[in-house]
Amino acid sequence: MTDIFDLAGRRVVLGLSGGIACYKSCELVRLLVKAGAEARVVMTAGAARFITPDTLQALSGHPVATEIWDAREPNGMPHINLTRGADAVLVAPASADFIARLAQGRSEDLLSLTCLARPWGSGNQRVPLLLAPAMNREMWSHPATRRNLAQVAADGALVLAVDSGDQACGEVGDGRMIEAAAIVEDLIAALSPKPLAGRSVLITAGPTFEAIDPVRGITNLSSGKMGFALARAAREAGANVTLVAGPVHVPTPRGVRRVDVQSAAQMYDVVLPAASANEIFIATAAVADWRPAQLSEHKIKKGGKKVAPTFELAENADILAAVAALPVPPYCVGFAAESEKLLEHARDKLRRKKLPLIVGNLGPATFGRDDNALLLVDETSATPLPADGSSLDKLSLARVLVAEIARRLAAHTRARSAT
């Protein structure tokens, strides 16, 4: 997979408060830098007991700030200098004590002072504050912590989720800090433009599996990567995303609701009742057109027979066409994976399935790969993505496509309300 510089040119102030999860912050700094960000680290005295500032200086490539009184700063004000021009302040780990200090607006250590002094209002200079909590499960569920979390969220902080599982203290429960990669994914989403804020998006992805007997079936080579990338991009754009996935081996994007299915019939049964509640439906799934007419209850045995068995096939319902035919359909986007005559076949599908937009690609060339090239086809135009006809990684393509769908949906809604 090629590196994607999602945070290129961004300056992130990374704060660490005291907790064993500080060990994960080494990886976090590495991932921030790998994504192109400049990471400026601030540590509390508690954090510096778990890992040393030297470690984070080496990983970030910048000195680590720990003291309010810092003669190295020309104006002596590190708490101001750190956040002016920054894109975000991210505190990971955010301990229970640190969150309590934030809730009260305290400022006796450099990190809480920096958070308090950051430009927090609604202007262009606003620097968002993200907190990745980390603590023991009893501390996490304590009413005082609940109160403080509600207060810091009301004051504008974005509180990231916690993981559940084994804790360093030997107990098991909620309160573990989420992994570094998940924090970076949430940070990228928080910094993304929000053209789909408040919209609901339903996406199908992957192949379907049509069972012949309990151990065999008919499927195809779709990896699901494009649909999963679109789900991530739609979530970054502010949408509430439901992803209905056939059998694939791709991790679920953060903040996306995933429903797993096997067959086309199961995908239909999940999608159809849910479709009308969404503003956008994107059908990336490579749904099997046919299924074995009979499902054998037991494994079909060779049993020494020399003659191969034959199977009758029955047609699967077209999920996309059925959604587009609903009385009040969402904005439907189809995919056309073809091996030749891309524009011709894509436009034929657009008309047959009565869609406002279809995305064509040359299927066999893209299945399983990390990059792709698309052709956006509507009734009157065909636009290559990327514009120069080259290929791009699927996540970058998905982001461009989601922005384009948001633009077309807005125009579509305007045109509808004018009639």
User: Binding to ligand CTP by residue 372, rule CB under 6 A?
Assistant: no
Of 123, 118, 102, 105, nearest in space to 40 by CA: 118
* Catalytic residue, candidates 22, 26, 115, 169: 169
What mask, x for binding ligand CTP by CB under 6 A, covers residues 319 to 358? xx-------------xxxx-----------x---------
How many residues bind to ligand CTP according to rule CB under 6 A? 15
User: Binding to ligand CTP by residue 405, rule CB under 6 A?
Assistant: no
Binding residues for ligand CTP restricted to 141-200, rule: CB under 6 A = none
Cβ 257 vs Cβ 242: under 8 Å: yes
Please pick, from the candidates 42, 264, 402, 409, the single residue that binds ligand CTP as defined by CB under 6 A: 264
Distance between CA atoms of 188 and 255, rounded to whole angstroms? 12
> One-letter amino acid identity for 107?
S
Please pick, from the candidates 318, 356, 360, 406, the single residue that binds ligand CTP as defined by CB under 6 A: 318
Q: How far is the CB of 263 from ligand CTP (least distance, A)?
A: 11
Size (the chain), residues:
419
Cα angle vertex 338, ends 395, 363, to 5°? Answer: 40
Please pick, from the candidates 13, 285, 357, 374, the single residue that binds ligand CTP as defined by CB under 6 A: 285
Q: How far is the CB of 308 from ligand CTP (least distance, A)?
A: 25
User: Binding to ligand CTP by residue 245, rule CB under 6 A?
Assistant: no
Query: Helix, strand, coil shares of the chain as percentages rounded to 5?
Result: 35, 25, 40
Between the CA atoms of 57, 60, 63 and 68, what dihedral angle is there, to the nearest 10 degrees? Answer: -100
User: Binding to ligand CTP by residue 201, rule CB under 6 A?
Assistant: no
For residue 90, the cross-strand partners are 14, 130
User: Binding to ligand CTP by residue 377, rule CB under 6 A?
Assistant: no
Tokens (6 digits) for 308: 């191969």
Query: Is 169 known to be catalytic?
Result: yes
Q: How far is the CB of 205 from ligand CTP (least distance, A)?
A: 9
> One-letter amino acid identity for 357?
L
Nearest to ligand CTP of 320, 409 (CB atom): 320
Cβ 397 vs Cβ 385: under 8 Å: yes
* Burial of 222: CB neighbours in 10 Å, binned 0-12, 13-18, 19+: buried
Beta strands at 88-94 and 129-133: parallel, antiparallel or unpaired: parallel
User: Binding to ligand CTP by residue 291, rule CB under 6 A?
Assistant: no
Tokens (6 digits) for 102: 């934030």
> One-letter amino acid identity for 205?
A
Please pick, from the candidates 287, 324, 401, 406, the single residue that binds ligand CTP as defined by CB under 6 A: 287
User: Binding to ligand CTP by residue 32, rule CB under 6 A?
Assistant: no
User: Binding to ligand CTP by residue 316, rule CB under 6 A?
Assistant: yes
Distance between CA atoms of 228 and 263, rounded to whole angstroms? 18
User: Binding to ligand CTP by residue 210, rule CB under 6 A?
Assistant: no
User: Binding to ligand CTP by residue 253, rule CB under 6 A?
Assistant: no
Q: How far is the CB of 249 from ligand CTP (least distance, A)?
A: 19
Tokens (6 digits) for 105: 């607006």
Q: State the residues that interact with ligand CTP by CB under 6 A.
A: 204, 264, 283, 285, 287, 289, 316, 318-320, 334-337, 349
Which active-site residues does the annotation give?
Answer: 169
